[in-house]
């Protein structure tokens, strides 16, 4: 059980993308920002990446206002790339890094180009392109390894050590330890305390990973000592961001051992610091950790409260990206408008010159040409007006789609804890009844299902094969809960290619859950559930039929009213809202029908028929 819980917390804590910086003090003490040149401001912004993200962004914005030409554009884009990498907006960071690379390549600034390549390697690591990232770091190290020991070289050693920990191989330990030792040696020779602190922080993660793999508690002590060394250094240097990450590492260390009461205070301290510097991404991750910890400790009220904060932060990050998208669209529109007006002005200037020459030749010809000219100009303006209206309509539709997509994501985020609490209660029942073996088997299946749901909750659509695997695992869990007084079958038509068909993620599970909860739960024995997947050639739709032999909707409603007058199925209402939103976005591609089954006027179960267009792609 402890191993499974450790796996859950380890998976949640895998994201490590902190843009480590090695400046102990400001590049220029006693500065006045308004008098600094753009490149000087960008160097100062680098210092604040580990201390105050809001101040960092303000300084980058100030540098952008001061830039008068494109010579400094590459440096500005690099600063933005590092900032967005730090706060977790990886797609924006990649866009800025590639733009910086192209600019600096033209300027032949190879020293700064190395910094850009390092940022791109970190993005490759974050996107799980591990072998590509390692190859890039080895190339960077080879370029400067024969020079004097430098902060830059120590940084590359730390980056490649951190990257090796993503490999699922036996020799990750040897490579990680080798480069960590090299990095620490460089920073000690240079007397760079920030570099030493970051090295100890990554040592902590390294020993934590060894602890997770072999369970040796000696590694727990080593990890704890390394993290405390890092935390002491960062406190002395007043590096809030690095302090927060060290506290976060210490919290996950205790969580892996299952000591959630000890981990929660560290999570809270880390959360307080990340909120102070405006680091939304890590604030969201820590709230996710706290939700799981409180749930395991049966502190359900705190778990629900934390989950609301997690959903709010997730939506905030999404809205920031959406606002940037709208702002970028507006800028592009204004640029195109200015170019269009400039072209029209140049065209009018040429035509005016022609008209003046023609006036000298003959007045009547000029009059005729002017008449044709104004008629053509009026027609062109009408066309431009229609095109402008079309662009505005397209932009409005894109914004509406972004809003609908955000609602869909919020609904899925609310549906995940609904199932988690039911499963945790089942595990609790096994433990109370002292069914250790059953509890362990159930918990293993539950952890696998949670991992699947965590992955699927980040996607808009999944393949039918993925959905069937998740449903089968979910029904096996429910069969265990019913003590084998429940059987199910999943039937798949021969003409279906499971990996080619896409459906909305986490869509069918609530209907299956309702069949169990409201139909079969109230039936005394012989509980059966059948799920059929087939292709309707006529309408080119996937047809999913969920059929149970339960007590029927009417009898279930009466039972629920007796137990709770205010009963209302969250999954049903949430999924109905998803159906409406999905049809709105995809032009009525989904059909839903629920039938009550009778035999001799007696209810014998319920049938749910879901039809999804085979043309659905995301």
Tens-place pLDDT, residues 88-119: 788 888 998 898 888 888 777 778 888 889 88
pLDDT tens per residue, range 434-475: 677 777 888 888 888 888 877 877 788 889 999 999 999 988
pLDDT per residue over 268-282, tens digit each? 888 888 888 777 777
Instruction: Kindly report the average pLDDT of the chain as a whole number.
Output: 78
At residue 472, the pLDDT reads 92
Label residue 544 by pLDDT band (50, 70, 90). very high
Q: How many CA atoms lie within 13 A of 258 on its CB side?
A: 7
Does 9 score more than 70 pLDDT? Answer: no
pLDDT band at 580 (very low <50, low <70, confident <90, very high): confident
Distance (Å) of CA 33 to CA 62, 74, 83, 429: 9, 21, 19, 62
Tokens at 525, concatenated: 């024995």
What is the residue-wise DSSP string for 379-432?
HHHHHHHHHHHHHHHHHHHHHHHHHHHHHHHHHHHHHHHHHHHHHHHHHHHHHH
Hey, what are 521's tokens? 């739960």
Pick from 30-34, 244-248, 325-329, 548-552: least confident: 325-329
Q: Which residue has the tokens 């080895």?
A: 138
pLDDT at position 443 is: 85
Which has the higher per-residue pLDDT, 353 or 346? 353
The helix (run of H) or strand (run of E) holding residue 368 is helix 363-432
Strand-pairing partners, residue 542, are 535, 612
Residue 573 has a pLDDT of 67
Asked if the model's pLDDT at residue 66 lies above 80, the reply is: no
Q: Who has greater pLDDT, 172 or 263?
A: 263
Whether 428 has a pLDDT exceeding 80, the answer reads: no
* pLDDT at residue 75 tops 70: yes
**How many CA atoms does the CB half-sphere of 213 hold within 13 Å?**
15
**For residue 530, pLDDT beyond 90:** yes
Q: Given this model, what pLDDT does residue 414 score?
A: 47
Residue 496 three-state SS: coil
Confidence tier at 565 by pLDDT (50, 70, 90): very low
Are 212 and 258 contacting, i.e. CB atoms less than 8 angstroms apart?
A: no
CB under 8 Å, gap of 24 or more: what pairs does 465-471 form? 465/498, 465/499, 467/503, 467/505, 467/507, 467/508, 468/492, 468/498, 468/533, 470/509, 471/508, 471/509, 471/512, 471/531
| Dihedral pair phi/psi, residue 614, rounded to 5° | -75, -5
- In whole angstroms, what is the distance from residue 165 CA to residue 98 CA? 26
Q: What is the pLDDT of residues 164-206, one digit of tens each?
A: 887 765 656 778 888 989 999 999 999 999 889 888 988 888 8
- For the cut 70, the answer to whether the pLDDT of residue 605 exceeds it is yes
Q: How confident is the model at residue 330 (pLDDT cuts 50, 70, 90)?
A: very low
Helix or strand (DSSP H, E) at 455: helix 436-456
| Confidence label for 500 from pLDDT (cuts 50, 70 and 90) | confident
**pLDDT tens, residue by residue, 281-319:** 778 888 888 888 888 888 888 888 888 888 888 777 755
């Amino acid at each position: 059980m402890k191993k499974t819980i450790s796996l859950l917390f380890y998976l949640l804590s895998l994201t490590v993308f902190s843009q480590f910086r090695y400046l102990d003090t400001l590049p220029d003490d006693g500065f006045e920002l308004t008098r600094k040149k753009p490149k000087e401001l960008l160097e100062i912004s680098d210092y604040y990446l580990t201390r105050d993200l809001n101040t960092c962004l303000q300084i980058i914005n100030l540098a952008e206002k001061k830039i008068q030409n494109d010579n400094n554009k590459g440096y500005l884009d690099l600063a933005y790339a590092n900032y967005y990498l730090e706060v977790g907006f990886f797609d924006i960071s990649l866009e800025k890094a590639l733009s910086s690379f192209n600019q600096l390549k033209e300027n032949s600034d190879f020293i700064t180009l190395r910094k850009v390549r390092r940022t791109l390697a970190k993005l490759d690591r974050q996107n799980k392109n591990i072998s590509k990232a390692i190859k890039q770091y080895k190339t960077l190290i080879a370029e400067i390894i024969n020079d004097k020991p430098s902060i830059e070289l120590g940084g590359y050693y730390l980056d490649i050590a951190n990257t090796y920990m993503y490999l699922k191989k036996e020799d990750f330990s040897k490579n990680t330890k080798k480069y960590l030792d090299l990095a620490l040696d460089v920073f000690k020779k240079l007397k760079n305390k920030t570099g030493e602190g970051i090295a100890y922080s990554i040592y902590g993660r390294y020993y934590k990973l060894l602890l997770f793999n072999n369970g040796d508690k000696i590694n727990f002590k080593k990890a704890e000592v390394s993290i405390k060394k890092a935390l002491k250094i960062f406190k002395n240097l007043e590096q809030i961001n690095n302090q927060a990450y060290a506290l976060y590492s210490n919290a996950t260390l205790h969580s892996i051992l299952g000591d959630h009461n000890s981990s929660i205070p560290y999570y809270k301290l880390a959360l307080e610091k990340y909120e102070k510097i405006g680091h939304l991404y890590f604030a969201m991750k820590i709230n996710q950790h706290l939700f799981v910890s409180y749930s395991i400790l049966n502190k359900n009220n705190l778990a629900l409260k934390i989950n609301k904060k997690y959903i709010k932060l997730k939506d905030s990050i999404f809205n920031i990206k959406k606002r940037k998208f709208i702002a970028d669209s507006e800028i592009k529109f204004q640029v195109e408008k200015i170019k269009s007006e400039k072209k029209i002005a140049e065209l009018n200037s040429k035509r005016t010159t022609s008209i003046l020459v023609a006036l000298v030749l003959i007045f009547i010809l000029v009059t005729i040409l002017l008449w044709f000219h104004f008629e053509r100009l009026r027609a062109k303006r009408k066309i431009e007006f229609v095109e402008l209206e079309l662009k505005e309509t397209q932009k409005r539709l894109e914004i509406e789609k972004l809003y609908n997509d955000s609602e869909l994501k919020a609904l899925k985020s609310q549906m995940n804890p609904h199932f988690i609490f039911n499963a945790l209660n089942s595990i609790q029942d096994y433990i109370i009844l002292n069914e250790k073996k059953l509890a362990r088997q159930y918990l293993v299946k539950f952890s696998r299902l949670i991992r699947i749901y965590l992955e699927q909750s980040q996607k808009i659509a999944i393949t039918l094969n993925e959905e069937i695997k998740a449903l089968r695992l979910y029904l096996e869990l429910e069969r265990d809960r019913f003590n084998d007084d429940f059987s199910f079958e999943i039937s798949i038509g021969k003409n279906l290619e499971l990996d080619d068909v896409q459906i909305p993620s986490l869509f069918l599970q609530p209907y299956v859950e309702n069949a169990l909860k409201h139909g079969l739960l109230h039936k005394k024995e012989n509980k059966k559930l059948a799920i059929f997947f087939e292709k309707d050639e006529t309408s080119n739709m996937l047809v999913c039929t969920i059929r149970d032999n339960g007590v029927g909707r009417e009898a279930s409603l009466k039972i629920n009213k007796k137990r709770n007058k205010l009963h209302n199925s969250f999954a049903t209402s949430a999924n109905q809202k998803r159906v409406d939103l999905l049809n709105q976005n995809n032009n009525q591609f989904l059909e839903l029908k629920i039938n009550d089954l009778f035999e001799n006027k007696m209810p014998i179960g319920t049938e749910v028929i879901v039809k999804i267009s085979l043309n659905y792609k995301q």
